Amino acid sequence: MRRLESLRRRAVLGGTAAALTGLAGCNSNTNDSESAEPSPSSPDQNKTEDTTTQPEKTVFDGGDLSDFLDAVEKAAATTSGQLEIESGTYRFEPFEQESAPGGYHLFAYDTRGVSIEGNDATFVFAEPTVGGLRFEFGRNIEIRNLEIDYDPLPFTQGEITAYDEASRTVEVKIDEGYPSLEHSMFTAAQRVWASIHLPDGSLISGYQAENPLFFRRHGLVSGDSNYSLMKKVL
């Protein structure tokens, strides 16, 4: 019982506010009122067990697009459907899928019930001649805070040097430092389109972005940087 008194004094001097529990390891077969004196409780005894069920969450933190597709399918199989992408920049080559049509870096079929949190991550696709992600016949798919980019960027720009209203064509000289329209990213693409802008970047009056010009590949005028663009005929 001397050890008990010592513990009690240390508990009081230490200013502990923890509740005291019954004494363990001490004979209680005495007749005085101090036969069952309490002792300081251990830290573990004061812990409350957290029985809250945490939602299942799948995490993608790197790999190729096959790994990303695995993470999507794994998340879809959980009750929460949550997929979290760790913040960062991920560069991807196209994922060759035997049973999927071409034209995309990744093709996902019949994906359902997935919520993808991008955490401001960036997916950089390395093949500019094909699309990025395609979810076909999917349902309840949500993607937030994810940036999509290409490197190289399937883009070029130039200055209009001539316009022929009768033939519905314009001639364009590609700006220095930008890829030629003979680049494989354009020649291998199913279609190449262009839009006309003012020097400040705004569209010209009466021109609609959804009614673009289409590159006429045989319309090379002179040199590698001059091209003829044909107005789309609706």
Lookup result for tokens 């009466």: 206
- For residue 150, pLDDT over 80 is answered with yes
Instruction: Identify whether the C-beta of residue 71 lies closer than 8 Å to the C-beta of residue 49.
Output: no
Q: What are phi and psi of 185, to 5 degrees?
A: -65, -25
Instruction: Identify whether the C-beta of residue 157 lies closer than 8 Å to the C-beta of residue 129.
Output: no
Lookup result for tokens 């005028």: 221
DSSP state of 197: B
Instruction: Identify whether the C-beta of residue 150 lies closer than 8 Å to the C-beta of residue 128.
Output: yes
pLDDT over 90 for what percent of the chain? 34
170/231 Cα distance (integer angstroms): 8
pLDDT single digits (tens) 178-192: 888 888 888 777 677
- For residue 151, pLDDT over 60 is answered with yes
DSSP state of 9: H
* pLDDT score of 211: 56
pLDDT single digits (tens) 155-205: 888 888 888 878 777 788 889 988 888 888 887 776 777 778 888 888 776
Tokens at 67, concatenated: 């790994």
